[in-house]
Chain A
Amino acid sequence: MILSTCVLVPTVCFWFDAPHLVTLATRIAILSIAAISLNLLIGTCGLVSFGHGMYLAIGAYSVSILQTTGVDNGFAHFSAATVVAGIAAALIGPLALRTSGIAFIMVTLAFAQMFFYLMISLRVFGGDDGMSLAGHSLLGPLDLGNRLGLFEVSVLLLAAITALSQLFNRSTAGYALRAARQNVRRAESLGLDIHRLRRIVYVVSAVLTADAGSLFANLNSYVSPSYSAWPMSGDLILIVVLGGMGSVFGPIVGAIFLLSVESFAPGLSEHWMLPYGIAIVWIVMTARHGLLGALLALRPAGKERRQ
């Protein structure tokens, strides 16, 4: 599956002489990574973070800022993204996790907006103009400025994170967090330290999103404070909700749908936003388990009939 995606998608793209499709596929893979990470909070913990754009921005700026100092080692970029996002999340997490529901949404949003305005005011890093990358991350011999190379790395990372996320959902901790999402009182009376588990998941989710941000910077060759602004965080939530937050693969389906429509629809009609908006409302209202849930329901009944 992974291998075939790695080989098939670029082949088809070059067959049709459409390299921009590779870019689209890479964008889908990268935002899928971020959305799957976010889904660890939304789907597993029942906590909607409206500030994950900040971690995407932290990952992206890690690349661009290190590039201006002459560091082009990709491993250094990803390490910096991981460490900075990890520290930020370790500080913000305990604070934000004192709340839940709407309050959690607002607190996470507030931190992301703070980071947004911080980057706008820092002229050294381009201010609100953002920064163009001086070069791309070098992973050993592999230059992430190479479209194909970036695509392969993104898909491999996506596959790894999907597998880990799947394992996590089946683990004791995954069950514990889902138990707490439904009934915190019950989970705690079993001796489950839910708050500690949530803090850990928050940090992991932030770090993985930052790594996606580093890839994102390489894809766009450009970094801007807008990555940390609320529309980006909102897009990530939309991808998760549209695709289906109940499953690991949901966000991938959501990313394919959202980004494909945003990429192709403007070419069809200049009024594409109207049917697009209606479609999103319709999906959210009718498909309780998102697009993936709706697709699975189309299959002939078989797997679900276990009882």
Chain B
Amino acid sequence: MSGIASLELRGLVKRFGGLLATDHVSVTIAEGELFALIGPNGAGKSTLIGQIAGELMPDEGEILIGDQSITGWGVVARARSGLGRTFQIAQTIDAFTTLESVVLSRRSGSLSPTGFFAPLLGDKEILDIARETLNVVGLGELTQLRVDRLSHGERKQLELAMALVRQPRVLLLDEPMAGMSPGESETMAQLLSELRGKCTIVLIEHDMDVVFKLADRIGVLASGALIAIGSADDIRNNPLVRASYLGEEEIT
């Protein structure tokens, strides 16, 4: 379960009534790769992420983590097989402290009958791991603070800590910088660059500077289809991408 794994999408199709929200998407994201997914609003990014996370079931196609097909699996089973994620709007538990949140996340993978009744905060080793992870994301000083007192940006950092502490094999990051202050954004970008190579990451982000700087490869979604995949330079210079998304504005 530990370690990193590749993520493969094979011919994914998702229809909502007459709308083709995901149009035969196929891509293999290698172990340790940081793959960014960009595209205009309504291009189908969230639908695609939903299918990878298990909240939506594709109408056609297959999803594999490593060699294992997880196509029919639900959210819980996928999370247990090593898929971690953060949400576009941070989903955190208001009534818990940051430390409790991260410890719960860490222990959630091993909720055995014995772990069922074990006190959440009773294992010193896990507490240390959780504190260290909070430190990594920059919340080391706030371990005892209730989540509802965190700022928006801090909640996003907490979500990342909750995902990282489980040592995910594949990590889905849905707009980790949305709504962050410039300072927080910079911290998050720094964090992401440190994560490169340590786990397979699918990143959805509107901040193009960050995407072009960090991503190993970039996939461009338009009307549900992947119209281009390539390095930052490939994508910048792709006329199709410019037409559909980046526009003619000057990109540095």
Contact = CB atoms under 8 A, between A and B. Distances in A.
Interface of A: 167-168, 170-176, 178-179, 182-183, 185-186, 188-194, 197, 306-307
Interface stretch (B16-24, B87-95, B207-215, B236-244): B87-95
B180 interface: no
B53 interface: yes
Contacts of A170: 119-121
Given A182-B93, A307-B145, A190 B162 contact: yes
A306 B144 contact: yes
A193 B111 contact: yes
Nearest to B101: A179
Contacts of A176: 104, 108, 111
Interface string B113-155: 0011111110000000000000000000000111000000000
6 shortest interchain CB distances as A-B pairs:
A191-B79, A186-B91, A191-B80, A190-B108, A188-B75, A179-B93
B91 A185 contact: yes
Nearest to A191: B79
B107 A189 contact: no
A171 B104 contact: no
A179 B121 CA distance: 15
A244 to B, nearest CB: 15
B167 interface: no
B91 A171 contact: no
B193 to A, nearest CB: 24
A186 B93 contact: yes
Nearest to B91: A186
Contacts of A194: 76
Contacts of B144: 306-307
Nearest to B121: A170
Contacts of B121: 170
Contact of B85 (A183, A189, A307): A189
Contacts, number: 83
Nearest to A188: B75
Nearest to B108: A190
Contact of A189 (B53, B96, B119): B53
B8 interface: no
B91 A188 contact: no
B231 interface: no
A172 B115 contact: yes
Nearest to B122: A170
Contact of B95 (A173, A182, A190, A192): A182
B75 A172 contact: no
B100 interface: yes
B91 A193 contact: no
A306 B93 CA distance: 19
A172 B95 contact: no
Contact of A192 (B92, B111, B119): B111
Contacts of B76: 188, 191-194
A191 B91 contact: no
A175 B93 CA distance: 10
A185 B79 CA distance: 12
Nearest to B149: A307
A174 B120 contact: yes
Contacts of A192: 76, 108, 111
Interface string B71-82: 000111001100
A307 to B, nearest CB: 7
Nearest to A167: B117
A191 B109 contact: yes
A42 B94 CA distance: 18
